[in-house]
Structure 1
Amino acid sequence: MKYLANTIVAALAIIIAAYLFSNAFQNRNRSADTISVTGLGKQDFISDLIVWSGSFTKKNPVLRDAYASLDQDREVIRKYLTSKGIKAEEIVFSAVSINKEFQYQYDSNGNMRQQTFSGFALTQNVTIESKEVDKVESISREVSQLINSGVEFYSNPPEYYYTKLAELKIKMIAEATKDAHARAKSIAENAGSSLGDLKKSDMGVFQIIAQNSSEEYSWGGSFNTSAKKKTANITVKLAYQVD
C-alpha cells in the first residue's frame, strides 16, 4: 500500500511538472510572438515667425566720437525699419561691443617691430522678430539702401520658425501611430494571425528639414531654420502581441 501511494505521488509530480513546463514553454513562445513595426508621420508647413539680425560698426580714434557716430547710425536704422512697417517693439538693439584696433609694423624677418593704436571699433547688433514673415524677408533683401545711406551694415540670413510646433508634433505622433498600427495589422492578417495587445511603444527622433531638399537627417534630430517652407517627420515604433 505504501509502495502504491508513493507511486501515485510520483506520477502526480511528473504530471504536474510536465504541465508547468508546457505552460511555461507556451508562455515563452507567446511572449516571442510579437510584431514590431515603424510608422511615419509627415507634415509640410510654412513658418509663421521670422528672426532677422544684422550688425553695424563705427570706427574712430576717440571713443566718445565713435559712440556718437554709432548712435546716429542706430537712429538711421530704427527710422528705416519703422518706415518699412516694422513695429518699434519688434526691433531690439544689443549692447555695444568695443574693440581696440592696432596697426602693426614688421621687419624683414617677419618679426613685429611696432604696434600703433589706430582707434576704437564699436559694433552693435539689431534683431527683428516678427510674424510678418514676408515683409521682414523682403526688407532683409533691401539692406543696400542702408549701406547707401552711409551705414556700415552687415545682414545675416533670416531664420524661420513655427510657433505651433507643439500642436503639430502631437498631430504627427497620432498619424505615425495610426500608420504603424495599420502596418502591424496587415502583417498579422497576411500571416493568418490576429493583432493582440500593444506591448511596447517608442517614439523616434523629430526632424525638420527644408521642403523638397536633399538635406540629410540626423540621429540627434534636424531642425532647419534657414528655409521658410519646411517638412517635419517623426517615427513611432510599436510592438504588438500576435494571437
Structure 2
Amino acid sequence: MPVTLDKSLLPAAVFGGLIAAGMVGGGALIGSGVVNAQVGNRQVTVRGLAERNVVADLAVLTLSFKAANDDLPTAQTQIDRDLASVRAFLRAQGYPEDQISVGRMQVTDTRAREYGSSQNTIRYILTQSVTVRTTDVQRVATTERALNDLVRQGVQLDFAAPNYVFTRLNEIRPSMIGEATAAARSGAEQFAKDSGAPLGPIRQATQGSFEILAREDIDPEPTSLNKRVRVVATVTYQLR
C-alpha cells in the first residue's frame, strides 16, 4: 500500500513507516520498511521477497518391517523371508541394486531387564530396514502407492512417507536474489515517488537465508514432492 506523506514535512527528523507490496517475475514483494530521515542524510530501508515453485530432485524411501516370535531362530527366518520379499518388490518397481541399501537389524528381547518381564508378550522382536535413495522421484511416488502389495505378502511393514529433497538451490540462487532485490527497489521507488524525494544509490544490502518450504502450507516440507523456495533481500537506499 503506497504511503502518502505531506511534502511540507519532508525536512522533519523522521518520515514514519513504510509497507510496500508488489510483484516481480515469480517473486512477490512483501515487507516493511523504516525510514530514517535526517537533514542531508535521508534514507529508506525496504524488503523484497522472491519465491519460486520447484520439484524435489532426490527421494529417500525407507521401508521398515518386523518379525516377532518367542523362538529367536524362527523370528530370524521370518525376517530373512520378508527381506527377500522387500528386495524383490523394489526390483520389480525398477530400482537398480546400487540404489538399495539394507540397514542393520535390531533385536529386542522384551523379557530383558530394561524392557521388563511379562509372560504374556512375545519375547523376540526383530526389526529390519531397507532404504532406497534415487533421483527418480516420480518412481518413488508410484512405489509409495504400491506398498500394500508387501502387506498382502505378510510383511509387517511400518508405513512412513518418503522424504523428498531439493538439491539444486545453487542453480536458482543468483536469479532469485536478483528478483528479491528488484522487488525491494520497486517498493523504494514507489515510496520516493509518493514522498517527492528522488531515489538515490544503494547504501546497504543484506540477503536473508534461503528457505525451502512445502508448496502448500498444510503439508510438512520433508515429505512434500512439490516445494517452494523463498528469500528476502533487505536494501537501504539514499534519498536525494
TM-score range, shorter chain: 0.7 to 0.9
Deviation of 1:139 (Å): 1.1
User: What is the RMSD of the two structures over their aligned residues, measured on CA atoms?
Assistant: 2.5
In the alignment, the residues of structure 1 paired with residue 143 and residue 44 of structure 2 have an alpha-carbon distance, to the nearest angstrom, of 54
Residue 227 (structure 2) pairs with residue 230 (structure 1):
yes
Residue 163 (structure 2) pairs with residue 122 (structure 1):
no
In the alignment, the residues of structure 1 paired with residue 127 and residue 39 of structure 2 have an alpha-carbon distance, to the nearest angstrom, of 70
> Which deviations, in whole Å up to 9, do the C-alpha atoms of 1:54-99 show, x marking residues without a partner?
2111112232332232122111111111111011111122111111
Residue 50 (structure 2) pairs with residue 41 (structure 1):
yes
Residue in structure 2 matched with residue 24 of structure 1 by the alignment: none
Alignment match of 2:200 (pick from 193, 196, 201): 196
Residue 146 (structure 2) pairs with residue 142 (structure 1):
yes
Alignment match of 2:68 (pick from 59, 76, 97): 59
- Superposition pairs for residues 9-28 of structure 1, below 5 Å? none
In the alignment, the residues of structure 2 paired with residue 43 and residue 37 of structure 1 have an alpha-carbon distance, to the nearest angstrom, of 20
Q: In structure 1, the residue corresponding to 2:40 is in which secondary structure?
A: helix
Which letter does structure 2 place at the counterpart of 1:225? P
In the alignment, the residues of structure 1 paired with residue 147 and residue 62 of structure 2 have an alpha-carbon distance, to the nearest angstrom, of 11
Deviation of 1:214 (Å): 4.0
Alignment match of 2:78 (pick from 69, 90, 110): 69
Unaligned runs of 5+ in 2: 1-36
When you count helix as a share of all residues, which structure comes out higher?
1
Alignment match of 1:91 (pick from 92, 100, 106): 100
In the alignment, the residues of structure 1 paired with residue 193 and residue 122 of structure 2 have an alpha-carbon distance, to the nearest angstrom, of 80
Alignment match of 1:173 (pick from 159, 173, 177): 177
Residue in structure 2 matched with residue 6 of structure 1 by the alignment: none
Residue in structure 1 matched with residue 59 of structure 2 by the alignment: 50
Q: Is 1:209–1:215's contact at 8 Å kept on the other side of the alignment?
A: no
Q: Is 2:68–2:122's contact at 8 Å kept on the other side of the alignment?
A: no
Deviation of 1:102 (Å): 4.2
> Which deviations, in whole Å up to 9, do the C-alpha atoms of 1:132-159 show, x marking residues without a partner?
1111111111111111112111221122
Structure-2-length-normalised TM-score = 0.74
Deviation of 1:207 (Å): 2.9
Distance 1:194 1:28, change over 3 A: closer
Residue in structure 1 matched with residue 4 of structure 2 by the alignment: none
In the alignment, the residues of structure 1 paired with residue 208 and residue 71 of structure 2 have an alpha-carbon distance, to the nearest angstrom, of 57
Residue in structure 2 matched with residue 241 of structure 1 by the alignment: 238
Aligned length: 200
Structure-1-length-normalised TM-score = 0.73
Q: Which has the larger radius of gyration?
A: 1
Between the aligned residues of both structures, percent identity stands at: 25
Q: In structure 2, the residue corresponding to 1:29 is in which secondary structure?
A: coil
In the alignment, the residues of structure 1 paired with residue 76 and residue 200 of structure 2 have an alpha-carbon distance, to the nearest angstrom, of 73
Unaligned runs of 5+ in 1: 1-26, 104-111, 217-222
Which letter does structure 1 place at the counterpart of 2:40? R
